[in-house]
Each structure stands twice: as C-alpha cells, then as structure tokens.
Amino acid sequence: MSGCMLEVSLPGRAYPIHIAEGLATGALAARVREDQASQRAVVVITDTHVAAGQAAFLEAAFAGVPVLALPAGETTKSFAHLQACCDFMAAHALDRRGRVYAVGGGVIGDLAGFAAATYLRGVGFYQVPTSLLAMVDSSVGGKTGINIEAGKNLVGAFHQPLAVYADVSTLRTLPATEFAAGMAEVIKHGLLADAELFTWLEQLEVLEAQSEALPEVIRRNCAIKAGVVLADEREEAAVGGRALLNLGHTFGHAIEAVAGYGAYLHGEAVAIGLVLATRLSVSMGLIEASVIDRVEGLLRRYALPTSLRTPLSIDSLLAAARRDKKTRRGRLRYVVLQALGRAQVCDSVEEAVVAELWRQAGAVD
C-alpha cells in the first residue's frame, strides 16, 4: 500500500498532509524527536479507545511523551474536557513553544485543536487522525471546537495544524461502523466536488482498511478539502466557498442534537443528511430523481442509514436547524446539488418543504 503527501498552501501557514503506513516509526516519529531535541514541551491528547487499541502506535511514535486519555465519544467535546486539556498542558509546563499532538478521531482533533488554540492564546498542534472520518475531513482545514446544549460546534476557533499525519494502518483496528461513518464524508466530497470520485466509488469493491485504493481515496478527499479551505479559510465567502462542505450537515447536525450526541455517529447522521439534501435538490428541479437512488445505493453499500432509525419530532429538528451556526441573518442555509459533483448554497428554502423531507425520513409531527 503506497503513501502520498500533499500540501494545504495557505499563505505563510502552509502545512503538509502525510498519508501512508508506518508514520509512527517514520515521519511522525521524526517530527516528535525533533520537537523533543529542540527542548519543546510536548503532550499527546487522545481518548481511551485509541489509547487501548493503538498502544503500540502511541509507544512507537511518542515514547516518553505525556499522554492524556479522555473518554471516547461526542460528549467529550465539552467545556469540562476543554479545561482538562488546558490543565494537562499547564501541568506539563507547555509554553508558547510547546506542541500538542491530537491523536484520535474527529472528537479529539476538534477538542485538542481548540485547547491548543486557546491555551496561552495559541500554541502549535499536529493532527494525527486515527479514524477515516478524521483523515478525510475534520483533521484538515483548521476548524476546532466543542458542543454546547444549543448545538454542535457552536463554540470554537479557526486554528490550522502545523501538519497532518494520517497513518492508514491505524484504521485496521477501527470498528466497521466507524469506518463506514468516514465513508459518508468521502461520498459527500464526491457529491459536491468530484463526480469522477463518486462514480469511482460506485465501481470499486466496498472499501476496507486494507484496500489498495484507500490511500488514493483519502488523498483525493484531502485535496478537495484543501482546495476549498485555501479559497475560503474562514467560511466568509458570500457565495459557495467553504460552506459547500456542509452538504448534508444542516440536517445531520439537527439529528445529532435532537437524538442526543452519541445516538448517531456523526457520519451516520450526515448520511441521512445527504439523502435529504439530494431529495431537496430534486424537489427544486436542480437534478434528476435518479440521483437519489445512486446516493442511497452507495450509502447502503457501507451499511449507512438513509432514514431515521426511530422517529424524531419535526418541530424539534426544525428548531435545532435554526440554531445551526450556518444560519445567516436568521435564514437557514442549505447546500444543494446543481449536478453530481457540483453544489451551491441556498437560503430560500421554506420550512414547510424541509418539514416534508423530515417526514419522508421518518420524523413525526
């Protein structure tokens, strides 16, 4: 299985993304040793699942580095665990030259990245994603944050990593449901920006952690994300830009908030959101109805949900969407498809239309 590298070419803050096997004894290990040799204080923030399942990886890459292992799961993205991260950094005397290594999935990357962004008003950090979802999406682009009761990722900061180290060997201990959740983001990228990638995914055998094609799939996803981030780092574009990466997420975040964080994996909620976003696009006359079958078919190949497992309240889902951070001037913004591989942001969707989509997904009045 070959590796590859690409760069997020932000002016003055460019950073590499390493995608390969053996980074724990290769580029990542070399980076850690260089930091230690430079007399930098270094810490690792991870979770208990990674600490147990990737013990050999952690020992190979971070021998002698203090490790904070937090509880696994979406509820860890909280103020309480943010404080735990900052207290840990203080206990190990991190100064502004210090370095934080976020080793885990999207939850740890978001939380540890936010801790790095706020501690001493900002210290450098590295993303070391160990889940597919984190490798193809959340580790790239500098969005960090935590959840509050009102909604997902409503508190956070833009804080770009110094580098991303995606060691694909870590995916081999990932539960099948977690790997599938990452595939939801892979499929999302194909839908919004790369029709050839989407078609390739349809033609490939079902991807697994050992698949020869996986590093290239990850690289193509990271390239899409890097290109969008370079054009619109802070999601400020009046049209399109980074907001396009939210395809399916307004729906998905509402599901997570109403069902309770942890009831659905993030990628599972996004999978349902992708179906609803596709159905919305069809209802607006933007794409042909046949795309719905293609999207649902590809999601089902990875055992991802295409409708709600149990009924949720439509009123509660609509209320959660209104609190979403993508709302602008009080209007909800949904990402819709202009064509397979091309998306746009729409802020003129009536709530009655969205309510009907929720009904089709199994929500109730």
Residues with a known catalytic role: 121, 143, 185, 225, 235, 242, 246, 249, 253, 266
- Give 246-263 as a 3 state SS string: HCCHHHHHHHHHHHCCCC
DSSP H or E segment with residue 133: helix 132-133
Which residue, among 7, 96, 105, 88, has the nearest Cα to 50 in the 3D structure? 105
Sort 98 into a burial class: Cβ within 10 Å, 0-12 / 13-18 / 19+: buried
Distance CA 324, CA 319 (A): 9
What is the radius of gyration, based on Cα positions, of the chain? Answer: 20
Question: How far is residue 358 from each of residues 252, 254, 259, 295, measured CA to CA in Å?
Answer: 11, 11, 14, 17
Cα separation of the two ends of the chain: 50
CA atoms within 13 A on the CB side of 231: 14
Residue 41's SS3 state is: coil
DSSP label of 307: S
- CB burial of 332-354 (b: ≥16 within 10 Å; e: otherwise) equals bbbbbbeebbebbbbeebeeeeb
75 vs 219: CA distance, rounded Å: 29
Cα(217)–Cα(77) distance, integer angstroms = 28
Give the CA distances from residue 233 to residues 8, 39, 121, in Å, rounded to whole numbers and listed in that order. 11, 32, 20
- Are 68 and 94 in contact by the 8 Å Cβ rule? The answer is no
297 secondary structure, DSSP code: H
Residue 96 DSSP label: T
